[in-house]
Structures are given as structure tokens and as C-alpha cells.
């Protein structure tokens, strides 16, 4: 590698790292508790809730929807999801179909009685951390900005790998010169931890970028992949809850069309994950891999007629897989611990990178040479 090429790669690594480092530090620090969000939520949960009729029959989904709308008069339903280990139905509603996330209302209901399940009162720490990590409380612009920072991170990683080979030409792998100056010692730690975490950081960086594109990905799916299903409706209005066909019948048709899959959630007409005229009933597979890939069955919400069961396009599958992979949320506690250790290593890499840049700038101002 020529001196000019090396200087070019060094400039790319320096400036891409400097621009994104503060935001990457924020993401690593907030990402650390999010890796263990299930465990932290369980620890903070002070409820000893029990269903009203533990051995009683479950109410219909139509009855649960009625209970949710009675609890929020004037709202329209957006999503219905289901707890895995409790007879609980969760309904997300909003004043309008195009409401922002912060205007949506999430409520849980006992499926044995229709009663509201009490939620946690006060400040929700994990939700606050998730919002900060996802979009810095700025919505889509914040998500896209963090996606751009993720692209810079990937460039910083690639340029760092390119620079690592000539740097280590005269040193054994993993050498840390602890007897040299603090700058040299921390440079060795920076390079060692950087190369150790490079594959993980590329995976987390790429999946993080994909996650920031959630809104454009879903919009593209609705606009293009489902265009044929909405072509015949013309200017028909979105059906109101009173106009909708039975949700139970719609779910039954979806489950019959995919008997080897499990119901995950329902998106109502007009919401972001459905068309303006269909129930989108999302099902997932039953293996560790396919459990993260969702397949929608679409049922006409006005007539109850089954429309189609179709696989999500590749970009939606990438979105479905990127979330669990990003947080290490698919291999149990051992994988989460590994993710956390690598996250801490990355924080050290970022902090030492800032330190090395500061020392280098100071030496340049003083007219010193690199050690």
C-alpha cells in the first residue's frame, strides 16, 4: 500500500469515526440495557396479576376489540397482539389512522373477563431508553439520521480493517505495548478490541441501519407489494369498526390457510401494516429461524372474504430478522451476555479513538512526531 493510499484510508477512518462516535457511544450505552430488556422488565414488574377466571373459556377476539374501543371512545384500532404466557390481548388504538406513535394508546385486556389489565404507573425507564436509542425522540428524521451515522460507522470499520494490516506488519497479533507511552498502549488496545469486535460490529451496524429504514420499508411494501389487492376498491373509504366483518372469522381463515404457523398480531384496515381495506393477520413459523419471519394473510375487512396469503418480500424479511439479530434476542441469555461483552468492548474502542485523536491533535500543535 502506497503512502498516499494509506493517508487516504487514514483520513476516511479518522473523519467517519469522529462524525459518528458521539452518536455511536449513545447507541452502545442505551443498547446495553436493551439487550436485557426482557430480564429488566421482569425485574421491574411489581404486578402479581392473575386472570379473573384462570380456568374459564377465552372471550372472542370481537368481544376483546369491543372492550378496547369502549375503553377508548372515539379511537380507531390499529393493532392487536397477544401475550405468550398470559391470556391477555393487547390493543393499540389512536384518535386517527395516521396518528404518530406518541399519540397511540396501548392497553391490555384480560381475555377471560374483558377487564382492563393494570399497567405500570409512572415513568417507563425502558421505553424512554428505547425511544432514545431508536430515534432520539425525533421520529422518522431521527431514525434516518441515526441510519446515516450507521453508514459512517460501517465505513469507519472497513477503513480500520484496511489500516490494521500494515500497522500490525511488525507486531504479533494481540500485542499490547504496556511499557510504552499511554498513547501507544491505548492505541494497541484500540486496535486489538477493534479487530476482535469487527465482525460483530458490522452485523450490529448493518442491522441497525436496516431498522432505521422501517418506515420506508413498510411504506414500500404497502404501496407496491399489495397494490394488486387494493386496485379494485377505487375511492372506497376505510371501513369503521362498525362496518368490519368478524375478526374471529378472519383469524380462523388465516390459521386454516397456514396450519403450520402461529398467530402473532393483527393489523387493522388503514394502519401502517395493512391496506386500507383488509385485516392483515400476521403469522410466524415455529422454528428458531422462522419465528422471526412473518407472513401476512389478508382478509377483506368489509366482507370477511379471504384475499391472499403471501410471503413478505426480501426487504421485509431483512427487517424482521434485523431486530432480533441487532439485540442478540434469539439465542437466550448466553448470547445476550456475549452481545453485552462485545458492546462494552465497542465502548472502549470508541472512547480510546477519541482519546487518540485528541492526543494526536495536541502533538501536531506542539510540532511533535508520532510515536
Query: pLDDT for 246-256, tens place per residue?
Result: 999 999 999 99
Average pLDDT, the chain: 88
Contact 98, 29 (CB under 8 A): no
Mean pLDDT of 95-103: 88
**pLDDT of 370 over the 50 cut:** no
Residues 6+ apart with CB under 8 A from 365: none
Q: Which of 25-34, 39-48, 74-83, 242-251 has the lowest mean pLDDT?
A: 39-48
Q: What number is the average pLDDT over the span 342-364?
A: 88
Higher local confidence (pLDDT), 369 or 127: 127
Q: Which residue spans within the chain are E strands per DSSP?
A: 76-82, 88-94, 105-110, 262-267, 278-284, 294-300, 306-309
Lowest mean pLDDT among 10-24, 199-213, 276-290, 334-348: 276-290
Find the mean pLDDT for residues 216-228.
87
What does the pLDDT read at residue 357?
87
Strands 76-82 and 306-309, bridge-based pairing: unpaired
Report the pLDDT value the prediction gives residue 89, as an integer from 0 to 100: 96
Rounded to an integer, the average pLDDT of 2-30 is 91
The residue with cell 472512547 is 351
| pLDDT beyond 60 at 244 | yes
Give the pLDDT mean for 270-296. Answer: 88
Q: Which of 10-19, 99-108, 129-138, 163-172 is predicted with the least confidence, judged by mean pLDDT?
A: 163-172
What is residue 245's DSSP assignment? Answer: P
Predicted local confidence at residue 124, as pLDDT: 79
Give 102 or 238, the one with higher predicted confidence: 238
pLDDT at site 224:
85
Percent of the chain having pLDDT more than 70?
94
pLDDT of residue 371: 43
Q: How confident is the model at residue 192 (pLDDT cuts 50, 70, 90)?
A: confident
Question: Is the whole model's pTM more than 0.85, yes or no?
Answer: no
Inform me whether the pLDDT recorded for 368 exceeds 60. Answer: no
Q: Are 118 and 80 in contact (CB under 8 A)?
A: no
Residue 361 DSSP one-character state: H
Amino acid at each position: 500500500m502506497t503512502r498516499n493510499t494509506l493517508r487516504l484510508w487514514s483520513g476516511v477512518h479518522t473523519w467517519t469515526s469522529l462524525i459518528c462516535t458521539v452518536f455511536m457511544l449513545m447507541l452502545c450505552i442505551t443498547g446495553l440495557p436493551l439487550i436485557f430488556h426482557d430480564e429488566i422488565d421482569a425485574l421491574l414488574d411489581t404486578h402479581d396479576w392473575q386472570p379473573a377466571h384462570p380456568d374459564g373459556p377465552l372471550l372472542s377476539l370481537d368481544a376483546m376489540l369491543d372492550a378496547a374501543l369502549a375503553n377508548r371512545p372515539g379511537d380507531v384500532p390499529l393493532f392487536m397482539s397477544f401475550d405468550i404466557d398470559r391470556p391477555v390481548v393487547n390493543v393499540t388504538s389512536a384518535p386517527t389512522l395516521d396518528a404518530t406513535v406518541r399519540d397511540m394508546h396501548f392497553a391490555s385486556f384480560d381475555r377471560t373477563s374483558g377487564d382492563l389489565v393494570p399497567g405500570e404507573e409512572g415513568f417507563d425507564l425502558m421505553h424512554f431508553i428505547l425511544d432514545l436509542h431508536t430515534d432520539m425522540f425525533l421520529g422518522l428524521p431521527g431514525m434516518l439520521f441515526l441510519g446515516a451515522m450507521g453508514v459512517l460507522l460501517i465505513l469507519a470499520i472497513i477503513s480500520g480493517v484496511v489500516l490494521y494490516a500494515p500497522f500490525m506488519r511488525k507486531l504479533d497479533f494481540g500485542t499490547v505495548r504496556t511499557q510504552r507511552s499511554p498513547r501507544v498502549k491505548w492505541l494497541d488496545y484500540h486496535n486489538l478490541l477493534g479487530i476482535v469486535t469487527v465482525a460483530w460490529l458490522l452485523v450490529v451496524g448493518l442491522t441497525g441501519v436496516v431498522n432505521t429504514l422501517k418506515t420506508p420499508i413498510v411504506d414500500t411494501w404497502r404501496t407496491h407489494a399489495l397494490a394488486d389487492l387494493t386496485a379494485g376498491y377505487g375511492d372506497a373509504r376505510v371501513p369503521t369498526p362498525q362496518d368490519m366483518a368478524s375478526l374471529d372469522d378472519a383469524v380462523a381463515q388465516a390459521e386454516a390457510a397456514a396450519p403450520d404457523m402461529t398467530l402473532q398480531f393483527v393489523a387493522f384496515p388503514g394502519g401502517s401494516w395493512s391496506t386500507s381495506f383488509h385485516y392483515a393477520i400476521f403469522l410466524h413459523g415455529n422454528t428458531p429461524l422462522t419465528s422471526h419471519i412473518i407472513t401476512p394473510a389478508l382478509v377483506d375487512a368489509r366482507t370477511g372474504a379471504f384475499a391472499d396469503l403471501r410471503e413478505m418480500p426480501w426487504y421485509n424479511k431483512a427487517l424482521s430478522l434485523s431486530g432480533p439479530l441487532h439485540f442478540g434476542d434469539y439465542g437466550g441469555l448466553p448470547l445476550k451476555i456475549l452481545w453485552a461483552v462485545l458492546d462494552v468492548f465497542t465502548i472502549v474502542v470508541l472512547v480510546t479513538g477519541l482519546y487518540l485523536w485528541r492526543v494526536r491533535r495536541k502533538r501536531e500543535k506542539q510540532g511533535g512526531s508520532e510515536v
